[in-house]
Amino acid sequence: MLHSEYKAVVERQGTVLVKVPKVNPDSEVVEIKIPDDPEVAVTRPLNKLFQTKSPDFDRWAAGGFGYSIGGCMTFFMRDEGAPTYAGHLTSSTGLSGTPEEWLDPLSLAIREGTEELIIANSSRGMVVPQLEGNGVEQINLHIQTIAKSNQQTLLHFRPDIPPLSENIPMSFMDMPNEREIKIQWRDQESRQKGLINFDPGVNGIDFLKVAELDSSIFYLRGIVVHAESEGGFSHPSIGIKDDFVLLDGEATGGGKFLNRKVYVINLGSFKQWKTAGFGSDHLLEPLLIFQGGQRLPIEPVRALFTPVSMEIIKAVLSKLEAQ
């Protein structure tokens, strides 16, 4: 149940973050102890203050998904106005929106992951990755808002873009380097398992999962993945129909959609990047780039990723190398 003293604040704000005593990043079980009456950030200035590097506290909570699609992964380009990591490629992640998500970071990861990556097809409407029981009614409303806001730029779509009609099956990949996280607040305690990223750039802790979308489903919606395995890595070639796009579902607190570029990059490119030492001056060749409902010409992109995306990329590569 939402604690009453925070309810009014949460109803007015899109995020609510909490300051917690410094957490040991190297422990096998990550323990987060939220003070009984914690300091809470609900505005950008306070959030920025919480991001200040400190030996005494960390910022909690944040999280989301890395998406794996038939030997590829998807990323968003953070715009130049982003509060952190402008010009970096990032995954489908975000900040906690309720105190419940402090204790249940998996629900935070699911909400952020399913809100941000939107798949659109003119004959089938807007579709989203879907886990059983993750609030499809709320997602439906979110998709309809996106459809309305993008009508002028979705050139391949009829004026009466249909609402969400189908969901794409999704499952979590078991990652060998996931850790247990234990969270305590007042008389409540929870334990979950995921990738845990400590980001010194924002003094924050992220709870991450890798979600795998059923690539056979994409065949029915316009994306065809042909993967050839070489040393455990897929090298896919993708054919796209003109009416298939990936959309950015992220919006500001004022309801304006960010319309970031969406990149699809194959894992073989990441293997080459790892061999080259993960240098930020390395150029990656995306398989697909989308923005504003349109497919853009392919052009190389600098391998500049947020820490959460690097955590996900390295975890996926480690899993493939272990197979």
In the chain, the percentage of residues whose pLDDT exceeds 90 is 49
| pLDDT, the chain, mean | 79
pLDDT at res. 225: 37
DSSP codes, 67-103: EEETTEEEEEEPPTT-SSSTT-EE-EEEE--SHHHHH
- Whether the predicted model's global pTM rises above the 0.75 cut: yes
Q: Please report, as a single letter, which amino acid is at residue 257.
A: F
pLDDT of 118-139, one tens digit each? 776 655 555 555 555 444 444 4
Backbone phi, psi, residue 214, to 5°: -70, 105
Closest CA to 92 of 248, 201, 234: 248
Helix axes 267-275, 307-322, angle to 10 degrees: 100
pLDDT of 77-95, one tens digit each? 998 888 899 999 999 999 9
pLDDT at res. 294: 78
Closest CA to 52 of 212, 198, 158, 201: 201
Backbone phi, psi, residue 178, to 5°: -70, 150
Contact between residue 110 and residue 95 where contact means Cβ atoms under 8 Å apart: no
pLDDT at res. 230: 40
pLDDT at residue 248 is higher than 60: yes
SS3 61: strand
Locus of tokens 């003070």:
35
pLDDT at res. 149: 52
pLDDT at residue 163 is higher than 70: no
pLDDT at res. 137: 42
pLDDT at res. 303: 96
